[in-house]
Amino acid sequence: MKSKRLDRFRERLTLPLIAAPMFLVSGLELVVAACRNGVIGSFPTVNCRSTEQLGEWLTEIETRLQQHADTSGRKAAPVCPNLIVHRSNARLEQDVKLLLRHKPEIVITSVGSPAPVLKPLHDAGALVFADVASIRHAERAAEAGADGLVLLTAGAGGQTGWLNPFAFVRAVRSFYDGVIVLAGGISDGHALHAAEVLGCDLAYMGTKFIATRESLADERYKQMLVEASADDILLTTAFTGLQTNMLKPSIVAAGLDPDDLPARGAIDIGKDIDITARENRPKRWRDIWSGGHSTSGVMDVPAVDDLVARTLSEYRGAGGA
């Protein structure tokens, strides 16, 4: 079942795919490259150091995508800002006001209920997707009026869910007819098509976009993903206090033992989302990196153009329309 809520821009999508919003990884170049290739480009608004810089990013993205449309004759896929709606985000109100002026087509909310921002974003014409990690959270977001649900399943990189994707998607689809986005384990076009068969409208691809030329990730991070496999992913609460999938080799490189980590949340590598604080944090914590189970599918560090073309070929080969 395909949600009619996507009809307004479905023809602009090359793939039913979102380049996942990733803290300190999703930047202007990655978003632009994804969107002009027909993939929804998302980014956490807190990747910008200030609301002012967020406005600069959005203006630059909009300008470049308009230039692309003028040249190619095809309008790009939507840009999708990601709002952290947790009370710790001191910039939330200012960022929302800015987004209202730019009128994004989709906004994703994370780390809390979408309810406080739903009305103003809906009034501005945006679809609002909420990320959820449990059935109860999905029910609450649906009741609040979210247009889509991003299901964080076992295997998603960074802060993740624990539910099996097959069980999670089918359970949510039994009571929800909005847009369902599968997050976790999408490493190629075959997995993307399988997500559609399961009942999803869209899927996140995150880890493979980390290892692209356009991402903001450190080159060592990208190479580590190429060399790692799913066996190198550790689910731990040591760094953020929440279940998070991290790359074991980066933990070892920071001088820690992955099998003997401190207590829950004892190591702060970015639990706060005050971007100005990142420079004051010990450098080694910024070198502990996340990744999903789809790490096993990362074989190289291509340009986004090449990654999308490859994924499209796989998707069609698997039976995707």
Residue pLDDT, tens place only, 128-144: 999 999 999 999 999 99
Given a cut of 50, whether residue 278 has pLDDT beyond it is: no
pTM score, two decimals? 0.93
DSSP annotation string for 305-321: HHHHHHHHHHHHHTT--
State pLDDT tens for residues 100-158. Answer: 999 999 999 999 999 999 999 999 999 999 999 999 999 999 999 999 999 999 999 98
Fold of 4-215+299-317: TIM Barrel (3.20.20)
Helix locations, the chain, DSSP H: 28-36, 51-72, 92-102, 115-123, 135-144, 165-173, 189-198, 207-210, 219-227, 248-253, 283-286, 304-317
**Which residue, 138, 196, 55, is CA-closest to 130?**
138
Q: And the tokens for 22? A: 């990733």
Record the tokens describing residue 270, joined without a space.
């970015």
The whole-angstrom separation of Cα 202 and Cα 178 is: 11
Say how far residue 228 (Cα) sits from the centre of its chain: 20
Please write the tens of the pLDDT for every residue from 145-202: 999 999 999 999 988 889 999 999 999 999 999 999 999 999 999 999 999 999 999 9
Domain borders along the chain are 4-215+299-317, 219-294
Cα 40 from Cα 307, distance rounded (Å): 14
Q: How confident is the model at residue 273 (pLDDT cuts 50, 70, 90)?
A: very low
**275 pLDDT more than 60:** no
For the record, the structure tokens of 220 come out as 């060592």
